[in-house]
Structure 1
């Protein structure tokens, strides 16, 4: 076993709090860098809440991008009826279909799944 140091519990807890603060700052910096590099984007809270509440991600992202179902169908090559079915939850869509929609919406496949 290596060298050991004993410190009071209060000092240990203070050091833990500092470490958590440093971790938060690093996470913040990574998020800011991803935004600046165009690797991520901010989503208004109204749209984020819709996603959190379980609304169809395809619908939320489509509306956020200001697209109609017809426009998304044209951009993605996915039939408008398929988009309607995916948005309503009656169909899930194949991975290939979701990939086309994700590319057209400029989001990751994970954002739609």
Structure 2
């Protein structure tokens, strides 16, 4: 406890800071949270402006076929997992893990997935 970050200047003049891994992880999580807040505010504004919700077919896939929200939207849009992964900028394996709920993916990737699916960001969240 009481750890103070170390500051130094690299040979090229770049100012550097050394943090503990725990502090780095905490700061990265805060940045992800901030991105989520911005995305949520944008979505709330879209809803206030009359953006539609989730189509019944998507809800039916989620309930009747027990699909994750992303998989349900993907089926509704007629997009393969490979195509969605490519367009969103990740691997098919990573997208498969996100759909299965074993991985979450960064906020930036979730926004990209929602964008490709033309789905509200909040509607692809599993939690």
Interval containing the TM-score (normalised by the shorter chain): 0.5 to 0.7
- Name the structure 2 match of 1:58: 70
Please report the TM-score for the alignment, with normalisation by the length of structure 1. Answer: 0.57
After TM superposition, the runs of 4+ consecutive aligned structure 1 residues lying more than 4 A away are none
The answer to whether residue 87 in structure 2 is matched with residue 75 in structure 1 is yes
Query: When you count helix as a share of all residues, which structure comes out higher?
Result: 1
Unaligned runs of 5+ in 1: 1-32
1:15-94 pair list within 5 angstroms: 34=50, 39-40=51-52, 43-45=55-57, 47-52=58-63, 55-94=67-106
Count of matched residue pairs: 77
The answer to whether residue 116 in structure 2 is matched with residue 99 in structure 1 is no
SS in 2 for 1:90: coil
Does 1 or 2 have the higher relative contact order (CA < 8 Å, sep 6+)? 2
Query: When you count strand as a share of all residues, which structure comes out higher?
Result: 2
| Structure number with larger C-alpha Rg | 1
Aligned-residue CA RMSD in angstroms? 2.5
